[in-house]
Chain A
Amino acid sequence: MIKNLFKFPGGVHVSQFKDLSIHEKVEPAKLPSKLVLPLHQHIGAAAEPCVEIGELVLKGQKIASANGYVSAPIHAPTSGTIEDIGDYPIAHPSGMSAPCIVIKPDGDDKWIELESHASDYSSIDPSHLRNIIRRAGIVGLGGAGFPTYIKHNPGPDGSVDTLIINGSECEPYITCDDSLMRDRPDEIVCGIRIIKHALNAKHVVVAIEDNKPEAFQAIKKALADFDDESIEAVQIPTIYPAGSEKQLIYTVTGKEVPQNSLPINISIVCQNIGTTAAVYRAINHGEPLISRYVTVTGDIHQPKNLEVLFGTPINELVDQCGGVKGSVRRLIIGGPMMGFAMHQLNLPVIKTTNCVLIDAKESKAFKTRDFAMPCIRCGSCAEACPAGLIPQQLYWYSKSQEFDKAQDYNLYDCIECGCCDYVCPSKIPLVQYYRFAKAEIWKRELEMQKSNTARQRHEFHQFRVEREKAEKAEKHRQKKAALQAKENANKDDIKTGKEADPKKAAILAAMERAKAKKAEPKNTDNLTEAQKKLIAEIDAKRAKQRNAASQAKPTNEDSKDSNNS
C-alpha cells in the first residue's frame, strides 16, 4: 500500500482550463470523406503498407505491418477503399509530408471477423498476451507512442515491483483521460488487470491528480468490484508536470530512474490510462487500435471530447465542435506546455494525438512571444525545474553555443516540460534554446562520425598506396640484388656491382630470362612417336601455306600499285 507520496522538486501551478471540455458528453467524431493514415504513428520504424491502391478493406483489417521490433502495425479504422498510398502533410512541427495510406470510407463501417481471445485473460500465457497486444497495434497513448508490447516484457526477473497507471493528465486543457476514466472505468480496470498479469507485477498504483475527483471515484468503484488489494488508486497533488513518467515514478515510489536508464531497470513500468483501455479491447474483443479519445478545446464554440478514428482530419473535428471563436492563430497538438504548434489545420489525428488546442487571434489566454529581456539570473527557472537542472546556465551555454559546457550541466536530462520557460520573467524562449542545442549536438556528432569515417577511409587509402609502393620497391630491390648476386658470380673478374650500367643489366636480365625460359620444359617434350609425326605433318602444312601466301602477296601489291598510278 502507498503510505506517503513524495514531492519532486520544482514544478509549476498552471491555470487548468479543463472545465472547458470536461462537462460535455463524449461523442463519436463524424465519419470524414477521407481517412489519411500516416505510416509512422509511433516511436520506432514506420509500418510497411500491406495493401494496394484500389483494394477493399474492412474495419480492423491490417493495412500496414510492423517493420522490425520497435514498430507497430496499422489497421483500417473503417471499411472502404484504399484510395492512395503516398506523401501527405502530417502533424509534425516542421510542416513536412510523410507516407500515408488514404482510405475512402464506404459508409458501411463493416468489421473484419474478430477473434475474441478470452474473457479469462489469466489463462493466457504472458508472451501470447504481448503478441496479441503487438498485433493490435497498441502504442502508448499518453503522447510518446512507444510500442506497448515491448514495455510489457517484465525483464530477466520475470516480474516487476510496481506498475504505475498514469491518470494524472497534468497538462492544462486536456481531459481525454479524465473522460475515459469517467466513461469506462470497468474497461480500464480490466485492462490494468491484464497488464498486471502480462508483467507479473506485484503492485499496481493508479495515480490520478486530485483535480479529477469524479474520475478517481469511478476508478475506485470499479476496483472495488474485484477485491484485489495489490491494485490501488491514489490521488496525487495537482502540479505540472506530475504526469511526466520520471516525476510520476518519484511521486509514487520516491525512486529516481537513473540517468540513461529506463523505469524497468528499477523494476517499474508506467502505462497510460488510454493504453489500458486499448489493451482491454484487444484482449477481450480482439479489436485492434483504430480510434481514441481526443480533447478538442481552446477558443472554439463547443469544446468537448470526441472518440476519433485515426486519420480523421483535425479541421473536421473543429467544425464538429462548433468552429473557432474568431480566427485561428495557432493550432497546438497536445497541451499548452509541451504541445507542438502546427502549420495548418488539415492534418490527420494519429495514435498519439491526445488534444487539439485552438488559439484564436482574439484570445486572452495565450499570448504571442514578446521581446525577450536579458536573463537577470533570478533563478526562478531553477526553482521550477522538475529535473533539478540549472536552466539559466543551460540557456547561457546553449546561446553561446558552448555545447560541451551545456552537456556538463546535463542538457540531456532536460525533459523539455517548459516549466522554466513558463516562469521566466524575462520571457526568454528557453526550451527553444535547449532544443536548438540538442539538435546542434546531434548534428555535430553525426558530422563527426561522417568525417571520422571519411578520415579512416582516406587513411586506409594512403596506407594502401604506401604499402603498394613499398612492395614494388621491395620487389625491385630483391630483383636487383638477385641480379647483382648472379653477375658477381658469373663475372668475377669484371668489376660490376653498383657501378654497372642499368641498361646492360636489364639486357642481361632479359637474356637470363630467355635462357631460363628455354630451359623450362615444354609441352612438346616427352611426346609419343605418333604425336611427333602429327606435329611434323601440321608443321609441313603450315609451311606450305606460308609459302603460298608469300608468293601471292607481291602480285597483290603490284596490282594495288598499278591501280594507284
Chain B
Amino acid sequence: MSLYTPSSPHFHANNSVTQIMLKVVYALIPGILLYVLFFGFGIVMNLLIAVVTALTCEALILKLRKRPIIPFLTDGSALVTAVLLALSVPSIAPWWIIFIGTAFAIIIAKHLYGGLGYNPFNPAMVAYAMLLISFPLQMTTWPLPLSNSNDYLGLVDSFVISFFDTASAGFAIDAISGATPLDYLKSQLGLEQSVSQIMQSSANFGLLGGSGFEWVNIAFLAGGIWLMKKKIISWHIPVATISSLIILAFIFYIYNSEQYASPFFHLFTGATILCAFFIATDPVSAATTPRGKIFYGVGIGILIFVIRNWGGYPDAVAFAVLIMNMCAPTIDYYTKPKPYGHR
C-alpha cells in the first residue's frame, strides 16, 4: 500500500477565493446601508436584480463551458461584480439597465475572456462603460438625496420604479431625480459660473462633496480601511489613487479656485472612494507588483482628474480604470522586484 505523497508544502493557510470576495462584499455593507438611508430602497432593487442576474449567467455559462459549477459559483467573484455594478448604476434606473449590464459583465467581459482570473478588464467597469455609452439618459438620472426630495422611496416604490416607471409609483421624475454634483458642476462651469457660486446655488452640495453621497463615501472609506487591515487589499493602489488625485486637485485649486473644485470635493463626490478601494483593487485586472500598483494607482488618479475636468463625462472612474487595466501587464513587466542576491 502506498501512502499519500503530495508535493510540499503540506500546510496551507486557512483562506480561499470565496473568503476574499465575501470580505469585499462585507466591507461595502455600511456604505450600502447609508445609501438606503439617504436615497431610499432603489439601491436594494439594483443589488437584487444584479446578484440574481450575475449568478444565473455565471451558472449558465459555466455549464456551457463545461466547468465545475459549484466551486466557481460559490467563489464570490460574480457576486462582487454584481454588487459593484449595482452601486455604479443610478438607483432609480429601470430593471433592464441592470440586467443588461450584469449579463454583459459576466458573459462578455468575464467569461468570453476565460472566466475568473483571466479577464483583462474589470467586468463591472466594462459593463458600466457600455451602459453609459448606450443608455446615457438612464445612466445619468440619479436620485436626489432625501433632504432635498420630498418623498422617501420605500421598497415597494422602488420595485414599481424599477419594473414599471416613476409615474406608476406616483412620483414626478423631476421631484426625485437630478444631476449629480459632478454633472451639475461641469455643466454650470460651462456656463461661466465660478465654483463657489455653483456650490451655493444648489442644495445638492454638502460639506465635503455631494450631499448624502459624502456620507456614503465615508462609509465606503471605512470599509476600505477595514479591507486593508484584513490584508485583503494592500495600501498601494488606494493610497496612490487618492493621493495623486488630491495632489493634482490641490495644485489646480490653488492656481484657480473659481475654476477648479477643491480636493475634498474630488475625494468625496462621484465614485472616487469606491474606485480607490474596491474597483481599482480588483486583483485580476490590476497591476500586481508593489511598485507597479503605485504606478497603476497614480495613473487612475490622474486620469480621473483629467477626465472630470476636461473630458466629455462628468465622472471618470470607469474609463480611468479601463485605461489603466490595459497598461497593467506592461507596468508589471517593468516593475519586477529585484530578487534576493541580485542587488
Contacts and interface: CB of A to CB of B under 8 A. Distances in A.
Majority SS at the chain B contact face: loop
A409 B15 contact: no
A171 to B, nearest CB: 10
B337 A328 contact: no
A342 B3 contact: yes
A390 B16 CA distance: 20
A338 B8 contact: yes
A93 B10 CA distance: 14
Interface stretch (A55-63, A180-188, A361-369, A488-496): A361-369
A432 B75 CA distance: 24
Contacts of B234: 379, 383
B338 interface: yes
Contact of B337 (A334, A374, A378, A382): A382
B284 interface: yes
B4 A341 contact: yes
B9 A421 contact: yes
A425 B19 contact: yes
Contacts of B6: 330, 341, 368-369, 429, 432
B11 A387 contact: no
A259 B12 contact: no
B201 interface: no
A341 B3 contact: yes
B71 to A, nearest CB: 6
A250 B341 CA distance: 10
Given A371-B68, A373-B75, A330 B3 contact: yes
Nearest to B341: A259
Given A373-B116, A432-B7, A425 B20 contact: yes
Interface string A343-361: 1110000000000000100
Interface string A407-422: 0011001001010011
Given A257-B341, A379-B234, A390-B336, A416 B11 contact: no
A329 interface: yes
A389 B1 CA distance: 39
B343 interface: yes
B7 A431 contact: yes
A229 B31 CA distance: 61
A426 B17 contact: yes
A373 B17 contact: yes
Which of B2, B116, B337, B339 gathers the greatest number of chain A CB atoms within 10 Å?
B339
B178 to A, nearest CB: 39
A9 B340 CA distance: 9
Contacts, number: 169
B8 to A, nearest CB: 5
B121 to A, nearest CB: 13
A422 B7 CA distance: 12
Which of B1, B11, B16, B342 gathers the greatest number of chain A CB atoms within 10 Å?
B11
A371 B336 contact: no
A152 interface: no
A95 B2 CA distance: 9
A377 interface: yes
Nearest to B118: A374
Contacts of B13: 12, 422-423
Which of B13, B234, B337, B340 gathers the greatest number of chain A CB atoms within 10 Å?
B340
B117 interface: yes
Interface residues of A, number: 71
B150 interface: no
Contacts of B288: 377-379, 382, 390, 392
B289 interface: yes
B311 interface: no
B79 to A, nearest CB: 14
A376 interface: yes
B4 A329 contact: yes
B93 to A, nearest CB: 29
B68 A336 contact: no
A150 interface: no
Nearest to A358: B3
Interface in B244-271: none
Interface in B1-58: 1-13, 15-17, 19-20
Nearest to B117: A374
B17 A422 contact: no
Interface in B38-93: 68, 71-72, 75, 77
A109 to B, nearest CB: 32
A559 B223 CA distance: 129
B206 interface: no
Nearest to B19: A425
A234 interface: no
Given A382-B289, A432-B7, A413 B341 contact: yes
24 contacts: A246-B341, A258-B341, A334-B8, A337-B9, A341-B3, A341-B8, A343-B3, A376-B17, A377-B117, A379-B234, A382-B337, A388-B339, A390-B288, A410-B339, A413-B340, A418-B8, A421-B9, A421-B12, A422-B9, A422-B13, A423-B13, A425-B17, A427-B16, A431-B7
**A-B complex: 4 closest residue pairs judged by Cβ atoms:** A418-B9, A374-B117, A432-B7, A341-B5
